[in-house]
């Protein structure tokens, strides 16, 4: 006797659709909305100001470091370039006038990069300047300019001029003019320009998000690799590494301060272990509630390195790099706090001036006063 059997149930479709939906959401996030625009602007301003300060600080010694009179002559630099593949426009001529023009160009480029003037072109020019000066005196580096070099190249692919820049101001002022100009255009012209702008926006957003992702990964690798290398060292494992660092004459700009801190052995041991812990744990706390605490502690650590070890360029480069992990809402919150504080201070001053002016007004005739 035949028995009625129910047909096999079809597999649920929602499981199969999960992966395409997630993949589509990922591509939409990657190509439609630029992420961390305020962080990119912070990196642009920070590294531009840092490199400008570096060039100004070394201005009296520029001839000995990068000039034609440097012990590391242009001929030696070119010979090294043949082996390493580096290049520098500073070696194109041995003229002192040419070098001074290049140095002035570097200063102007850093300023333009900070204020965000034609940022797409200026970022490429800034990266070229950093590479040229780095390659010309490659043995004068301390780690900080290595990071600045990497970040300058990465920032070429980001939209770091969308916020806090002259480009952003010009875009706001020109938005209404573009709208008025396209209202009377032909429909086919509008369609062509709309497609062109959409393609440009698509490419720019994709490059920006990829560039910011690479910057974040680079910083994670820096901290993770530094922490893992420290774990392998016996001095870091027994907590005495900072004791030996504080007693190196090469890294003691303030000997009295170094000796004072070295006298507290427990403090030195705790700082040694905490340094390793922060660097190893950093990549794993970026998406947790402890991110801001860790970033604050790293800020203190780099400030201590700048003061105690005399490495302000390296510390500044790392502090600026940490800004990539702060979301836009954090910068917007800081902006709101700043505007409220500024308006409150202005209102207080205006009220004080009004009260002072009123106290000097003589009573009018016929008034009760």
Q: Which pLDDT band holds residue 11 (cuts at 50, 70, 90)?
A: low
Rounded Cα–Cα distance for residues 66 and 77 (Å): 10
pLDDT at 139: 85
The angle formed by the CA atoms of residues 334, 340 and 343, to the nearest 5 degrees, is 135
The angle formed by the CA atoms of residues 114, 338 and 47, to the nearest 5 degrees, is 20
Higher pLDDT, 121 or 27: 121
Average pLDDT of span 334-343: 83
pLDDT at 197: 73
The mean pLDDT value of the chain amounts to 85
Residue 322 C-beta-side C-alpha neighbours within 13 Å: 20
Closest CA to 159 of 332, 40, 328: 40
**pTM of whole model > 0.75?**
yes
pLDDT at 181: 55
DSSP for 287-343, written as a single string: TSTTHHHHHHHHHHHHHHHHHHS--HHHHHHHHHHHGGGS-HHHHHHHHHHHHHHHH
Rounded Cα–Cα distance for residues 51 and 145 (Å): 8
Higher pLDDT, 281 or 367: 281
Q: Which pLDDT band holds residue 142 (cuts at 50, 70, 90)?
A: confident
- Percent of the chain surpassing pLDDT 90: 59
pLDDT at 344: 75
pLDDT at 339: 84
Q: Which pLDDT band holds residue 7 (cuts at 50, 70, 90)?
A: low
pLDDT at 17: 47
pLDDT at 33: 87
pLDDT at 2: 46
Rounded Cα–Cα distance for residues 49 and 51 (Å): 6
What are the sequence ranges of the domains in the chain? Answer: 34-167+202-338
Indicate the length of the chain as a whole number. Answer: 369
pLDDT at 355 over 80: no
pLDDT at 170 over 50: yes
257 contacts: CB under 8 Å, gap ≥ 6: 307, 308
Q: Which pLDDT band holds residue 194 (cuts at 50, 70, 90)?
A: low
Average pLDDT of span 141-169: 92
pLDDT at 335 over 90: no
pLDDT at 167: 94
Query: Which residues in 40-68 are b (16+ Cβ under 10 Å) and which e?
Result: bbbbbbbbbbbbbebbeebeeebeeebbe
- Percent of the chain surpassing pLDDT 70: 80
Average pLDDT of span 26-49: 88
pLDDT at 353: 62
Average pLDDT of span 13-20: 51
pLDDT at 26: 67
Rounded Cα–Cα distance for residues 315 and 292 (Å): 18
Closest CA to 307 of 261, 263, 254: 254
pLDDT at 288: 78
Average pLDDT of span 60-80: 92
Closest CA to 123 of 88, 147, 146, 152: 152
Min mean pLDDT across 28-32, 37-41, 125-129, 301-305 is at 28-32
pLDDT at 363: 55
Residue 314: Cβ within 10 Å count:
21
């Amino acid at each position: 006797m035949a028995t009625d059997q129910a047909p096999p149930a079809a597999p649920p479709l929602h499981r199969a659709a999960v992966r395409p939906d997630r993949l589509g959401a990922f591509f939409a996030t990657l190509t439609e909305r630029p992420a961390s625009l305020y962080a990119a602007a912070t990196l642009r301003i920070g590294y531009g100001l840092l490199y400008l300060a570096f060039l100004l600080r070394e201005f009296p010694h520029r001839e000995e470091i990068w000039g034609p009179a440097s012990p590391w002559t242009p001929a030696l630099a070119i010979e090294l370039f043949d082996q390493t593949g580096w290049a520098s426009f500073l070696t194109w001529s041995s003229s002192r006038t040419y070098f001074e023009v290049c140095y002035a160009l570097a200063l102007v480029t850093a300023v333009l990069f900070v204020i965000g003037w034609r940022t797409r072109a200026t970022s490429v020019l800034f990266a070229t300047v950093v590479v040229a000066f780095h390659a010309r005196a490659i043995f004068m580096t301390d780690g900080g300019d290595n990071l600045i070099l990497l970040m300058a190249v990465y920032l070429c692919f980001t939209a770091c001029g969308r916020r806090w820049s002259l480009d952003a101001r010009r875009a706001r002022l020109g938005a209404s003019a573009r709208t008025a100009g396209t209202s009377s255009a032909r429909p086919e012209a509008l369609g062509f320009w709309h497609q062109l702008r959409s393609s440009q926006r698509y490419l720019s957003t994709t490059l920006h998000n990829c560039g910011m992702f690479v910057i974040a990964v680079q910083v994670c690798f820096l901290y993770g690799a530094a922490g893992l290398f420290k774990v392998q060292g016996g001095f870091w494992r027994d907590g005495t590494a900072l004791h030996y660092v504080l007693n190196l004459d090469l890294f003691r700009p303030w000997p009295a301060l170094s000796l004072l801190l070295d006298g507290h052995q427990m403090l030195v041991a705790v700082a040694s272990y905490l340094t390793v812990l922060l660097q190893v744990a950093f990549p794993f706390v970026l998406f947790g509630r402890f991110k801001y605490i860790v970033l604050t502690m790293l800020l203190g650590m780099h400030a201590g390195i700048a003061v105690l070890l005399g490495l302000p360029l390296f510390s500044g480069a790392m502090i600026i790099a940490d800004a990539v992990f702060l979301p836009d809402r954090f910068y917007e919150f800081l902006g709101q706090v700043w505007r409220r504080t500024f308006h409150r201070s202005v209102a207080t001053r205006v009220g004080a001036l009004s009260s002072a002016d009123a106290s000097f007004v003589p009573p009018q005739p016929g008034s009760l006063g």
